[in-house]
């Protein structure tokens, strides 16, 4: 039986969230402190939807057509359903925002083999005579058609909304099952109980609502989740700060925090052919400095800087959004020779992380590193290269197929996706972008050094004869502007320069105003920051902000980032939707882990120098900053978790090999410091964790409960299940209580290697 | 072809089952390798896995320039000859000298001579042959076939159709990522999220490897779309630089953990069996479970006999050979492997790059072939190549830095004891025009380009789908229409014996 106000005890599955005795003390003492500080933040928790069932079973109340009145619902008889049929189910305990409708919901069926089907909810109606009870209509067509139809007669059905799942209920599929044959795991929520509630609000606010937190302060689960989404991992300092000022103020401060905390590497680039004093050969002409080759001709400097900024930087949100953008606008040291070249590229990401997408597009188009990586630099009217023209549309802005504003695919009359552009558009956009190359005219290129490729100044039209002067036709879409660029007949000299620059702006406007841009970018950023498979409603809310930030500005990333992070689908202490969350990608997995345990140099006396990017424990996980294997990023945004219908981009690099590397990464750094032993001149600091505070906790509690609770708080924002704790505790206490370090390591290893931690929810 | 026919006849008469045709055929040509023969005889008797088959994909990442790998070596004026080739590449310094080509006779073209790149033959270093003789010899042994001008296609295509913008063509031609995806998925009209290796595995695992201890598909080169199916998760492991018993070994447990280490190990394993109501957690746990299960089955290792070159691709092939040697332990009847060599995106300095890359993969392939002979299984293992695309016939730049740009149609190798080698395979254009080997004319009938500066990007005559489907058919994929259309959705667009290009039985 599902709990309503004044109802029965909580079903067992919700007992995970019961308050543990030790934590309760902490909560009691802390609530007073935290409430005042969090005045600006509303309760982050959305109610948990409840699917209504028959009075004496967990069978869902469902009919093929909408029932208008409460009496009609009560009369709905048990029935079975088939593929392709419409189904109407009834839910309560919802609190809809303005404009929130059917696309905020998803209906899932799951059989005993754990095959999952997803049905699109097409309509939602509040019952006129029973406010607070909603009729949801869906069509029993699997959205993705992954599995064949269920073969069992009864499947488990659940409704998800804002990252929370309803009680699972029984749906008869193909044939009617016996009432007595309850489906294991399903939970009844009798209609009669809901109707017996006197008013709308009590129907709405059921006891299952906020899964109140287990360890820590009020909403500390949400705060920890927030840090997983906005930073490179929770630290106690950061956590305290957000607790004091609240999420919203912290966001506003982050938007203004100076970046980077440590200056970008700033060494001058070198010639493409390594000079004798920088060629990694010390025998004839010693290198100056001895590390010159590594520092110049590899990604060492930007990589180690990136890791230090991730682990210790103050402007965490900007760094994180830049990291997300770098996985859309991909360049890579696989093809780019010098580390310094990546710095100018990264500056564009970080400068525009809270800026406007249109500026980002322009600066990237003129960035020499991008120009080299995707061959726009040097593309001429007689020898054009389509690479950048193709990828700026396909990967960086609008994608291959026409989207609705909520990110769902548009289809033609035959149900096929509609391409956003064809080869003609690629050819024409390529023409627009011809003639640009590395800036090599001393008077116009302040950073130009003869003999060294100029990756610091923007690309330039050095030779106007290389620009294509013919007419071009670009993207055509409803409301498209600047689609046609006229020929520049008879143009010469500066007229061409002006024409080429104007044409580029027109072409970028043509892309920027494409209706796909908002849903495409919004979905990708949500996937990067919050969850892999967001609802159309969530994408739609963010896309609306992308289209107009409230002041009539399109493409304002600051507003977009805020909208993503403060959305109810992002917020809440815990998310119970089985299809919510994302696999921690290796960089975040590593930094989340290292920041949680006070990462520092091997001898513990200084900060870690960030040199992890060349170590096998890290590189084996298949995500090395500044070294994406292809322009398709480390993983594609459309990747589906094998065997499921779920989007899970990061799972593309989660395989048997990398899953073990992840465990070994944890082992290596939990049980060993990386020594300084690497020979001079490279002299990395090595790496160690500071586990003393955890040892203190371990020393004070021989049951190890407090230790595991603390790891639950730090790594899993309080979502550790009682089963999980029950497995970990005896393994920890198998080590003698006096060996506090041994116990701490044992506990960290088990929590950090678990899939429960690997998945950020 | 007569020679091949007679060889086959002989083998039929010999009545040998356990010994592969290739094994004996090779033996006939290598009378000096008696130890190998003896070894085979020993290996052959206990082989229970008579039904075993393996496919090995060698992927040339970056887009290999097949134009310099397979060159006309004749002067027949009715078909593109060496002079036609040379005329398009010599001025810029990209032509391979005719004298250095390794000749191969092509029965299908009336015995005309073509030439393989010199790095595909015997390579000597300080007067000594390095590792082995390369793949060129396998042509005459009938164990190496070539498919010229293969590429991504949605349906057969003529130049006129190519120029008609409404005719269906692969999306995003000449783009690395898209063309790689299309080769690996065998779907060129729309984005696909599973690879054709994975889809074959989806359909064959239950029947062929019902209790396999490792997945059907293994990548020795990271996550690849080719290896992922709807239900198939590939085994992804490191190359032979890491022993099999270490590739998936979680550190810190030792071989026989006790006490608190055992407690940690048990808890580590137990945590993967709970909290599965989250589908993401379930998926992550499933992958790790698979790794742990494979790890347990890989603890006893069998070393290979042949010396493989110590290159990345050599070590990858060696790791494949190790796994094949363990096939009985692993309880698998069908396996698909993926290995990869990168560096083929030769916009510049192609000549020296090719020498290095061709030597590497040729040496590695030959070592693998010889090891399969020694394992007595060479006729059950077929190795084939794929690549992003071919490259422009018209060079990019000139002189020492000369290279090529992104093209389309390309030439592919298929190697193995079951291969009807020593010939070209493929199809002609739908209108009957064209030839197996493209017509080397810029702006000509096989070139996508027209106008003032055509580059020579060959419109493929044979599709990836036909190529893959022929391999899949040999491998045992059921040939009913439903299965074929699920695994190769566009195959039916290629009429006739579309999954029987004939290079495999």
Q: What is the mean pLDDT of residues A455-470?
A: 96
> Which of the pair, A177 or B138, is modelled with greater confidence?
B138
> pLDDT value at position A199?
63
Asked if A652's CB is within 8 angstroms of B288's CB, the reply is no
The burial of B394, by beta-carbon neighbours within 10 Å (0-12 exposed, 13-18 middle, 19 or more buried), is given as buried
Q: Which A residues in the span 102-131 are in contact with B, Cβ-Cβ below 8 Å?
A: 114, 116
The pLDDT value recorded for residue B497 is 61
Residues of B in contact with A145 (CB under 8 A): none
Asked if the C-beta of B271 comes within 8 angstroms of chain A's C-beta atoms, the answer is: yes
User: Does the pLDDT value for residue A307 go beyond 80?
Assistant: yes
B462: closest CA of chain A, how far (Å): 22
For residues A361-377, give the mean pLDDT.
95
pLDDT for residue B300: 86
Instruction: Indicate if the pLDDT at residue B23 is higher than 50.
Output: no
Give the pLDDT confidence of B397-420 residue by residue, as tens digits: 788 888 998 899 999 999 999 999
pLDDT on residue B37: 33
Q: How far is B274 from chain A (nearest CA, A)?
A: 7
What pLDDT is attached to residue B427? 85
List residues bridging with A121 in a β-sheet: A138
Q: Which of B171, B193, B295 sits opposite A639 (nearest CB)?
A: B193
- Report percent pLDDT > 70 for chain B: 89
CB within 8 Å of A512: residues ≥ 6 apart = A357, A358, A361, A397, A554, A555
Q: How confident is the model at residue A394 (pLDDT cuts 50, 70, 90)?
A: very high
Chain B contact for A640 (CB, 8 A cutoff): yes
B-chain residues near A393 (CB < 8 A): none
Among A390, A581, A660, the residue with its CB nearest the CB of B280 is A581
Average per-residue pLDDT for chain A: 89
The pLDDT tens digits for B456-466 are 999 999 999 99
If one compares B128 and A90, the residue with the highest pLDDT of the two is: A90
Quickly state the pLDDT bin for A9 (edges 50, 70, 90).
very low
* In the block, residue with structure tokens 């909208």: A563
The answer to whether residue A539 scores a pLDDT higher than 90 is yes
Per-residue pLDDT band for B337 (boundaries 50, 70, 90) equals: very high
Which chain B residue's Cα is nearest to A394?
B172
Residue bearing the bigger pLDDT, A256 or A183: A256
Taking an 8 Å cut-off on Cβ atoms, the answer to whether A423 and B294 are in contact is no
State whether A660 and B280 contact (CB < 8 Å). Answer: no
Phi-psi region of B72 (alpha: psi -120 to 50; beta: other; left: phi over 0): beta
| Number of residues that make up chain A | 761
Token couple for A248 = 């919203």
For residue A146, the chain B residues in CB contact (below 8 A) are: 230
Q: How many angstroms separate the CA of residue B363 from the nearest CA in chain A?
A: 25
Nearest-Cα distance to chain B for A755, in Å, is 5
Give the ipTM. 0.91
Does the pLDDT value for residue B130 go beyond 90? Answer: no
Residue A240 has pLDDT above 80, yes or no: yes
For residues A319-326, give the mean pLDDT: 98
- For chain A, say whether B486 makes contact (Cβ under 8 Å): no
| pLDDT, mean of residues A672-684 | 69
B81 min Cα distance to partner chain A (Å):
27
Nearest one of A395, A354, A346, A349 to A374, comparing CA atoms = A395
Alpha-helical segments (H) within A352-451: 357-365, 368-373, 387-394, 423-432
For residue A678, what pLDDT band results from cuts at 50, 70 and 90?
Answer: low
Which of B176, B278, B389 to mutate to probe the A interface, most A CBs <10 Å?
A: B278
Least confident among A234-248, B79-93, B117-131: B117-131
Nearest CA in chain A to B233: A642
Entry pTM: 0.86
Q: How far apart are CA A156 and CA A60, in angstroms?
A: 10
Backbone angles phi, psi at A655, to 5 degrees: -130, 180
Distance from CA of A209 to the nearest CA of B (A): 19
Mean of the pLDDT values across residues A583-602?
Answer: 96
| Per-residue pLDDT reduced to its tens digit, B379-402 | 999 999 999 999 999 998 788 888
**Range of lowest pLDDT (A411-425, A535-549, A592-606):** A411-425
Q: Which residue has the higher pLDDT, B334 or B222?
A: B334
How does residue B438 score in pLDDT terms, banded at 50, 70 and 90?
Answer: very high
CA distance A428 to A484: 10
Local confidence band at B49 (pLDDT 50, 70, 90 cut-offs): low
pLDDT beyond 50 at A6:
no
User: Torsions phi, psi of A133, nearest 5?
Assistant: -110, 130
Residues of B in contact with A724 (CB under 8 A): 271, 274-275
Shortest distance between the Cα of A35 and any Cα of chain B, in A, equals: 32
Handedness of CA B85, B90, B95, B101 (dihedral sign): positive
* Cβ of residue B243 closer than 8 Å to a chain A Cβ: no
Structure confidence by residue, pLDDT tens digits, A619-667: 999 999 999 988 889 998 888 887 777 899 999 899 999 999 999 999 9
B232: nearest CA partner in chain A: A642
The 10s digit of each residue's pLDDT in B291-309 is 999 999 999 877 999 999 9
Find the residue in A nearest to B405 (Cα): A385
Nearest residue on chain B to A743, judged by CA atoms?
B260
Residue pair A130/A195 in contact by the 8 Å Cβ criterion: yes
Q: A100-142: per-residue pLDDT in tens?
A: 999 999 999 988 877 888 999 999 999 888 888 999 999 988 7
Rounded to the nearest 10 degrees, the angle between the axes of helix A740-753 and helix A722-733 is 150
Angle separating helix axes A656-671 and B279-297, nearest 10 degrees:
90
What are φ and ψ of residue A81, in 5° steps?
Answer: -125, 165
Residue B39: is its pLDDT beyond 50?
no
Mean pLDDT of chain B: 87
What is the Cα–Cα distance from B484 to B469, expressed in whole angstroms?
Answer: 8
Each residue of A733-746: pLDDT tens digit? 999 999 999 999 99
Measure the CA–CA gap between A672 and B188, rounded to whole angstroms: 49
Q: Out of A638, A664, A759, whose CB is closest to B278?
A: A759
C-alpha distances out from residue A457 to A367, A439, A453, Å: 8, 6, 10
pLDDT of residue A116: 85
Confidence grade of residue A202 (pLDDT, cut at 50, 70, 90): low
pLDDT in tens, A411-443: 988 887 898 998 789 889 999 999 999 999 989
What percent of chain A has a predicted confidence (pLDDT) above 70? Answer: 91
pLDDT of amino acid B167: 84
Q: Which residues of B touch A398 (CB under 8 A)?
A: none
Asked if B280 and A579 come within 8 Å (Cβ–Cβ), the reply is yes
Which is it for strands B217-219 and B144-151: parallel, antiparallel or unpaired?
Answer: unpaired
pLDDT of residue A105: 97
Cβ–Cβ contact A5 with B under 8 A: no
Interchain contact, A578 vs B277, CB within 8 Å: yes
Structure tokens, B26: 């090779």
pLDDT above 90 covers what percent of chain A?
A: 70
pLDDT in tens, B247-289: 999 999 998 999 999 999 999 999 999 998 899 999 999 999 9
Min Cα–Cα distance to chain A from B271, Å: 6
* Contact yes or no for B250 and A734 at CB 8 A: no
Mutate which: A659, A733, A738, vs B, most B CBs within 10 A: A659
Q: Enumerate residues 6+ apart whose C-beta is below 8 A from A282.
A: A290
pLDDT of amino acid A2: 52
Q: Does B278 touch chain A (CB under 8 A)?
A: yes
Give residue A203's pLDDT: 56
Q: Report the pLDDT value the prediction gives residue A217, as an integer from 0 to 100.
A: 65
Compute the nearest-CA separation of A599 from chain B (Å).
21
Q: Please name the member of A631, A643, A659 whose beta carbon is closest to the beta carbon of B177.
A: A631
Q: How far is B18 from chain A (nearest CA, A)?
A: 34
Under 8 Å between Cβ of B377 and B324: yes
Spatial separation of the C-alpha atoms in residues B321 and B240, rounded to whole Å: 9
Q: Is A754 on the interface with B (CB under 8 A)?
A: yes
Whether A440 and A454 have beta carbons less than 8 Å apart is answered as yes
DSSP for B44-86, written as a single string: HTT---TT-EEEEEEEETT---GGGTEEE----TTS--HHHHH
> Binning pLDDT at 50, 70 and 90, where does residue A143 land?
confident
- Rounded-to-10 torsion of CA A221, A222, A226, A232: 0
Closest CA to A176 of A148, A151, A154: A154
Alpha carbons A553 and A559: distance in angstroms, whole number: 10
Between chain A and chain B, the number of residue pairs with CB atoms below 8 A apart is 196
Task: Report the pLDDT averaged over residues A197-202.
Answer: 62
| 3-class DSSP string for A635-698 | CCCCCECCCCCCECHHHHHCCHHHHHHHHHHHHHHHHCCECCCCCCCCCCCCEECCCHHHHHHH
Give contacts of B 197-236 with A, CB under 8 A. 198, 215, 219, 222-223, 228-236
């Amino acid at each position: 039986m599902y709990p309503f106000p004044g109802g029965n005890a909580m079903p067992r599955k919700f007992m995970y969230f019961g308050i543990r005795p030790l934590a309760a003390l902490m909560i009691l003492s802390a609530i007073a402190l935290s409430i005042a500080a969090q005045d600006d933040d509303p309760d982050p928790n959305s109610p948990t939807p409840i699917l209504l069932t028959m009075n004496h079973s967990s069978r869902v109340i469902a009919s093929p057509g909408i029932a208008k009145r409460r009496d009609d619902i009560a009369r709905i008889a048990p029935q079975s359903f088939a593929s392709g049929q419409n189904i109407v189910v009834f839910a309560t305990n919802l609190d809809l925002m303005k404009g929130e409708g059917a696309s905020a919901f998803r209906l899932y069926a799951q059989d005993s083999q754990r095959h999952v089907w997803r049905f699109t909810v097409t309509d939602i109606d509040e019952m006129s005579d029973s406010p607070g009870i909603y009729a949801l209509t869906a069509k029993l067509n699997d959205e993705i058609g992954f599995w064949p139809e269920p073969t069992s007669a009864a499947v488990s059905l659940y409704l998800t909304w804002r990252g929370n799942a309803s009680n699972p209920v029984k749906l008869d599929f193909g044939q009617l099952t016996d009432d007595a044959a309850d489906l294991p795991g399903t939970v009844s929520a009798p209609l009669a109980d809901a109707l017996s509630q006197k008013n709308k609000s009590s129907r709405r606010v059921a006891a299952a609502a906020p899964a109140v937190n287990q360890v820590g302060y009020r909403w500390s689960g949400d705060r920890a989740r927030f840090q997983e989404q906005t930073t490179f991992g929770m630290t106690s300092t950061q956590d305290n700060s957000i607790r004091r000022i609240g999420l919203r103020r912290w966001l506003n401060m982050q938007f203004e925090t100076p970046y980077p905390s440590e200056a970008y590497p700033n060494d001058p680039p070198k010639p493409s052919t390594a000079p004798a004093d920088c060629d990694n050969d010390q025998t004839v002409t010693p290198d100056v400095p001895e590390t010159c080759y590594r520092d110049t001709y590899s990604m060492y400097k930007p990589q180690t800087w990136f890791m230090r900024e991730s682990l210790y930087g103050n402007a965490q949100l900007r760094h994180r959004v830049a990291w997300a953008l770098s996985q859309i606008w991909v360049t890579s040291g696989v093809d780019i020779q010098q580390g310094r070249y990546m710095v100018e590229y990264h500056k564009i990401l970080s400068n525009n992380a809270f800026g406007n997408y249109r500026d980002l597009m322009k600066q990237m188009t003129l960035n020499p590193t991008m120009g080299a990586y995707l061959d726009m630099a040097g593309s001429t009217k007689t020898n054009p290269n389509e690479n950048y023209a193709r990828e700026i549309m396909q990967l960086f802005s609008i994608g291959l197929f026409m989207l609705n504003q909520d990110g769902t695919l548009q289809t033609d009359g035959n149900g096929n996706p509609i391409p956003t552009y064809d080869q003609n558009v690629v050819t024409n956009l390529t023409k627009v972008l011809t003639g640009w190359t590395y800036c090599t005219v001393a008077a116009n290129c302040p950073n130009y050094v003869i003999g060294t490729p100029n990756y610091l100044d923007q690309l330039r039209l050095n030779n106007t004869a290389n620009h294509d002067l013919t007419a071009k036709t670009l993207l055509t879409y409803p409301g498209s502007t600047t689609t046609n660029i006229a020929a520049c007949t008879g143009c010469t000299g500066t007229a061409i320069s002006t024409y080429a620059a104007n044409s580029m702006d027109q072409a970028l406007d043509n892309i920027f105003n494409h209706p796909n841009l908002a849903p495409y970018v919004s979905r990708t950023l949500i996937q990067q920051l919050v969850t892999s498979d967001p609802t159309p409603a969530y994408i739609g809310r963010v896309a609306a902000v992308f289209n107009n930030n409230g002041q009539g500005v399109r493409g304002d990333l600051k507003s977009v980032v805020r909208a993503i992070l403060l959305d109810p689908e992002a917020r809440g202490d815990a998310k119970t939707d089985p299809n919510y969350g994302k696999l921690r990608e290796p960089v975040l997995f590593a930094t989340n882990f290292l920041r949680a345990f006070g990462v520092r140099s091997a001898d513990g006396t200084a900060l870690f120098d960030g040199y992890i990017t060349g170590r096998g424990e890290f590189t084996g996980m298949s995500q090395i900053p500044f070294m994406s294997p292809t322009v398709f990023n480390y993983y594609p945004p459309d990747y589906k978790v094998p065997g499921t219908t779920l989007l899970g981009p990061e799972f593309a690099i989660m395989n048997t090999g990398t899953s073990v590397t992840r465990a070994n990464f944890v082992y290596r750094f939990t049980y060993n410091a990386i020594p300084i032993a690497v020979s001079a001149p490279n002299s990395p600091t090595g790496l160690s964790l500071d586990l003393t505070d955890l040892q203190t906790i371990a020393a004070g509690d021989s049951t190890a409960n407090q230790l595991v609770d603390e790891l639950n708080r730090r790594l899993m924002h309080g979502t550790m299940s009682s089963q999980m704790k029950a497995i970990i505790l005896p393994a920890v206490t198998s080590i003698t209580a006096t060996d506090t370090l041994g116990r701490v390591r044992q506990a960290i290893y088990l929590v950090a290697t678990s899939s429960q931690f690997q998945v950020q929810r | 072809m007569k020679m091949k026919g007679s060889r086959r006849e002989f083998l039929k008469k010999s009545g040998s089952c356990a010994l592969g045709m290739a094994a004996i055929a090779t033996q006939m040509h290598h009378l000096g390798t008696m130890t190998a023969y003896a070894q085979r005889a020993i290996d052959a008797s206990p082989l229970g896995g008579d039904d075993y088959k393996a496919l090995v994909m060698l992927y040339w990442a970056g887009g290999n320039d097949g134009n310099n790998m397979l060159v006309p070596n004749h002067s027949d004026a009715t078909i593109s000859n060496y002079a036609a080739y040379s005329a398009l590449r010599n001025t810029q310094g990209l032509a391979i000298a005719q004298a250095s080509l390794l000749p191969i006779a092509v029965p299908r073209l009336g015995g005309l001579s073509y030439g393989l790149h010199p790095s595909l033959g015997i390579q000597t270093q300080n007067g000594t042959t390095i590792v082995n003789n390369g793949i060129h010899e396998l042509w005459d042994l009938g164990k190496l076939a070539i498919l010229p001008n293969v590429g991504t296609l949605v349906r057969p295509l003529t130049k006129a159709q190519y120029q008609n913008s409404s005719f269906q063509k692969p999306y995003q031609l000449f783009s690395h990522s898209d063309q790689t995806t299309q080769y690996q998925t065998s779907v060129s009209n729309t984005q696909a999220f599973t690879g054709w290796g994975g889809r074959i595995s989806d359909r064959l695992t239950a029947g062929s490897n019902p209790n396999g201890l490792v997945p059907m598909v293994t990548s020795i080169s990271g996550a690849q779309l080719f290896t992922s199916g709807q239900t198939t998760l590939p085994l992804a492991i490191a190359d032979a630089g890491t022993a099999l018993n270490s590739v998936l070994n979680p550190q810190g447990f030792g071989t026989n953990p006790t006490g608190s280490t055992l407690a940690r190990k048990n808890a580590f394993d137990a945590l993967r069996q709970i909290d599965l109501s989250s589908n993401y957690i379930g998926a992550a746990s499933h992958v790790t479970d698979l790794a742990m299960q494979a790890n347990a089955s890989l603890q006893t290792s069998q070393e290979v006999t042949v010396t493989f070159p110590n290159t990345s691709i050599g070590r990858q092939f060696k790791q494949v050979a190790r796994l094949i040697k363990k096939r009985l332990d692993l309880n698998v009847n069908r396996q698909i492997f993926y290995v990869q060599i990168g560096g083929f995106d030769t916009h510049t300095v192609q000549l020296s790059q090719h020498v290095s890359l061709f030597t590497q993969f040729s040496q590695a392939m030959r070592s693998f072939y010889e090891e399969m002979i020694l394992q007595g299984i060479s006729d059950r293992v077929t190795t084939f190549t794929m690549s992003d695309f071919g490259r422009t016939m018209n060079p990019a730049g000139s002189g020492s830095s000369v290279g090529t740009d992104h093209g389309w149609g390309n030439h592919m190798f298929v190697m193995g004891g079951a291969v009807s080698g020593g010939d070209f395979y493929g199809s002609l254009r739908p209108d009957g025009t064209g030839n197996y080997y493209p017509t080397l004319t810029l702006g000509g009938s096989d070139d996508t380009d027209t106008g003032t500066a055509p580059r020579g990007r060959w419109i493929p005559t044979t599709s990836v789908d036909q190529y893959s489907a022929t391999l899949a058919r040999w491998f045992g994929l059921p040939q009913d229409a439903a299965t074929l259309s699920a695994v190769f959705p566009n195959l039916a667009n290629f009429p006739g014996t579309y999954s029987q290009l004939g290079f495999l039985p």
